[in-house]
Amino acid sequence: MLAIPIGLYYLCGMELGNYMTATEFAEKINTPYPTVAAWLREGRVPGAEMREVGNLKFWLIPVDVLRDFTRPKKGRPALIDVEQAKRAKKKVAGKSAILPFEPPTTTAKPEAGKSAKKSAKKTGKRGNH
């Protein structure tokens, strides 16, 4: 049974028996409604239409979609060959690029085993106490 009032049938000008709401679609494919709503906004559900009646907006999804519907894959879509080649070229160019600044010079480390206080005592350059 549709959750849309019968008055929408006349306002939409279509037979609602061939359509279901996003909530019904989510229940039938056993998926949370927010996930289905995201798919609808991204255009991943074929044949889905956004209808507006006054201030009311709702999605109508053809019942036939259930037969052929496959869940969209999670994650980022795979790169096409052209994009992969472009990234590889950029990566190689980045490795051989000259740095825009001079690398820091290394400073001499103090000799092992001597602390700054001991060397200051020997030289007599400790503070005025």
Q: Side chain identity at 93, as an amino acid letter?
A: A
Cα 121 to chain center, whole Å?
61
Q: What is the pLDDT of residues 21-45, one digit of tens each?
A: 999 999 999 999 999 999 999 998 9
- Name which of 82, 12, 92 is nearest 49 in CA terms: 12
Q: What is the pLDDT of residues 66-125, one digit of tens each?
A: 888 888 777 777 777 888 888 888 877 666 556 667 766 777 766 666 555 555 556 666
* 8 pLDDT more than 70: no
Confidence (pLDDT) at 1: 47
For 61-89, the DSSP string reads EETTHHHH--PPPSSSPPPPHHHHHHHHH
Model confidence pTM above 0.85: no
* 53 pLDDT more than 80: yes
Confidence (pLDDT) at 103: 67
